[in-house]
Amino acid sequence: MAGAPYGNKNAEKWTLRKATMLFNDAIDLSNEIETYYIKVNDKAVEVRGYTYDFIGEIARELGTFHEIFEHLAKRFPALQRLRNELNNNIQSNCYSNTKKGIIREATGIVNLKSNWKWRDRADVTSDDKEIKVIPTTIVFTKPTNEQ
């Protein structure tokens, strides 16, 4: 039997060609720039910034969901470079828009931390892994003069 059974609504619909087109459309959207007006000292200042700085916005614009990009990159390893380009664009867009005041700082920081694993500082103690406590018994001896 070739392909999914007739009437199967769960069959994979993505081909490498369609997936590549989706990634290219997403990358094009991630490069879009528009004009924003931000308030500085009670005056509106014109600032150029990126239209999209969150992968979910791009996915919605394309009529899909954000997890599809990871799924397709795993299904078609040839798309890894496009996935990396898209992720890098979105991450740098968020940073740039936050730096320019287009996005409020708190929102930008939350986005970068939750979606891109940014941290305030490196965790050099456990590398973000669970710390297992090993019970030990410490025996003290009285020092002698012979040491």
Query: Is 80 among the domain residues?
Result: yes
Query: Is 46 among the domain residues?
Result: yes
CA 36/CA 116 separation, integer angstroms? 25
Per-run averaged pLDDT (10 residues), the chain, 147 residues:
62 88 97 92 92 93 95 96 96 92 87 74 66 68 64
Are the C-beta atoms of 59 and 65 separated by less than 8 Å?
Answer: yes
Q: Give me the domain span that covers residue 50.
A: 16-116
Query: Is 71 among the domain residues?
Result: yes
How many domains, the chain? 1
Query: Is 140 among the domain residues?
Result: no
Give the Å distances, CA to CA, from 33 to 8, 78, 104.
Answer: 41, 28, 18
Query: Is 3 among the domain residues?
Result: no
Query: Is 60 among the domain residues?
Result: yes
Query: Is 109 among the domain residues?
Result: yes
Query: Is 42 among the domain residues?
Result: yes
Tokens at residue 14, please? 């993505």
Give the Å distances, CA to CA, from 88 to 83, 126, 135, 141.
Answer: 8, 27, 44, 58
